[in-house]
Structure 1
Amino acid sequence: MGQQKIVVPYITTRDGEELGIGSMLRADPARGLYYANEGPHDRDRRGALWARQGHNPRDNAGQPTGEPLYAKVHPSRQRETMYELRCQICCQELASRTSLGYLFLLERPDGGTEPGWPEGELTTHPPLCLPHAKTSVERCPPLRRGHVAVRVKLARLYGVWGLPYTTGQDGTLHPAHDDERPVGYHDPRIRWHLAAQLVRRLRGVTVIDLKAELAAAGLGR
């Protein structure tokens, strides 16, 4: 049998795409975090400040080049796919959508689930097209350990997940690594978060049989 083709999610950071926060990050009591040389692409449409990260050249298929760092998500590419509801793996396709809504794959929580889950779930995982949903459940280690496939009628923008900062008595900035969590656009604390991933809240959730959908689309084994 031939080897499986390596599929790297579009949102994966590649070797050489360095974070570019450096000494440009500043703080103001009223404004919160900002860059000393801030440009028009440093904030999203709702005003959240985003982490800067480099971009490697693209290949002929429009995909980033460089060795993949699978454990790291590229901030702007995650933001792009989540905002536009494009497939997180190829970005070439809009996410699969039926009368039940967009297709998302969710990791099953290790400690069990709350009643009603996953209705109302906050997620940083962009949706998928149907062929790459198949690829994901077959090859992604966290999903292979346990996942739920859902269709979502309303995936509303909620806020961002990122690193909050505090200021010391001398005015220096300090990242609070122990307090990374989603923060809503409505929350004034978002001014002190450096966004790394866009968050949507899932409403109108229907758990689906992904294998059945794949088979109906001719994508089964």
Structure 2
Amino acid sequence: MTTTPRQPRLLPVPAIALWSGQQVRTPPLRIAPDGIYHEGSENRDVDGQLWPQVHGPQAGVPQYAVMNPLKQCQAMEHLLCQVGMGPATRTEQGLLWVLPRPTGSPGDPEYDWDQGVTTTEPPVCLFHARVSAHQCPRLSTRGHVAVYVREAELVAVEGTYYPPPPARARSIKTVLPVDAPDARLMVAEGLARRLRAVTLVDITDRTLAHGAVPCNRRTRKKDR
């Protein structure tokens, strides 16, 4: 008797992951003393920060270690789950985050929650937290730390800074405070939040995850 081989279970790809069929491009820029502008249509966030463009379909192979800058911006601005792009889990203890476990080395010291931990990783919903922990290369190889966060201030923007004229200096990759005047001369690549007032949580606890539903699940009429 011939049996049909069982198909592998496909886990959802994090929404913020860039696909191999996509490319991040910065159109030609006009650089002025008061800021930089795309020559043509622009991508700006709610604060007026300029972002690159993402071209191509979500096809090919997902690049889990590379974030789609536009999706990352959307998730960080609106505190959406990085996997499903629905609302991140929020409890009395705060919003849920899953971060890479630090190595404890000088270049990657243990988290200092009293001072705050700055991250470009968006939050997650409880349902997708395990997906994020097991599929993200950094989380699966280094382990993860899951926390509920009561304070998550938007503090910085990463990107490429273009010195204004008449300077002839080259563009540089840097990180600036979100309210820095020079941020107007940057093409952003990611937003960062500083996480404080945290409560550690075990996302492998089946009791905790009981009843959790995908953040992007469509509401049925009978559920309303």
Aligning the two structures, in what range does the TM-score lie when normalised by the shorter sequence? 0.7 to 0.9
Mapping of residues 1-221 of structure 1, within 5 Å: 3-22=8-27, 24-28=28-32, 30-39=33-42, 42-54=43-55, 56=57, 64-91=58-85, 93-110=86-103, 111=105, 112-113=108-109, 116-117=112-113, 120-144=116-140, 145-166=142-163, 171=168, 174-176=170-172, 179-181=173-175, 183-212=176-205, 214-218=206-210
Amino acid in the other structure paired with 2:143: G
Q: CA deviation at 1:83?
A: 1.6
Amino acid in the other structure paired with 2:51: W
Q: Separation in 1 of the partners of 2:117 and 2:26?
A: 30
Q: TM (normalized to structure 2)?
A: 0.78
Q: Separation in 1 of the partners of 2:171 and 2:68?
A: 19
Amino acid in the other structure paired with 1:162: G
Q: 1:69/1:115 Cα in 2 relative to 1: closer, same or farther (>3 Å)?
A: closer
Q: 1:115/1:122 Cα in 2 relative to 1: closer, same or farther (>3 Å)?
A: closer
Q: CA deviation at 1:119?
A: 5.0
Q: Which runs of 5+ in 1 are unaligned?
A: 57-63
Say what the alpha-carbon RMSD is for the aligned residues.
Answer: 2.7
Q: Separation in 2 of the partners of 1:187 and 1:53?
A: 25
Q: CA deviation at 1:167?
A: 6.2
Q: 1:16/1:138 Cα in 2 relative to 1: closer, same or farther (>3 Å)?
A: closer
Paired residues, what number?
203
Decide whether the 8 Å contact of 1:100 with 1:151 is kept in 2. Answer: yes
Amino acid in the other structure paired with 2:23: E
Amino acid in the other structure paired with 1:26: R
Look up the match of 2:220. none
- Structure whose CA Rg is larger: 2
Q: Matched residues, percent identical?
A: 35
Decide whether the 8 Å contact of 2:21 with 2:59 is kept in 1. Answer: no
Decide whether the 8 Å contact of 1:11 with 1:74 is kept in 2. Answer: yes
Q: CA deviation at 1:135?
A: 1.6
Amino acid in the other structure paired with 2:46: R
Q: TM (normalized to structure 1)?
A: 0.79
Q: Separation in 1 of the partners of 2:72 and 2:46?
A: 15
Q: 1:114/1:188 Cα in 2 relative to 1: closer, same or farther (>3 Å)?
A: farther
Q: Separation in 2 of the partners of 1:118 and 1:53?
A: 37
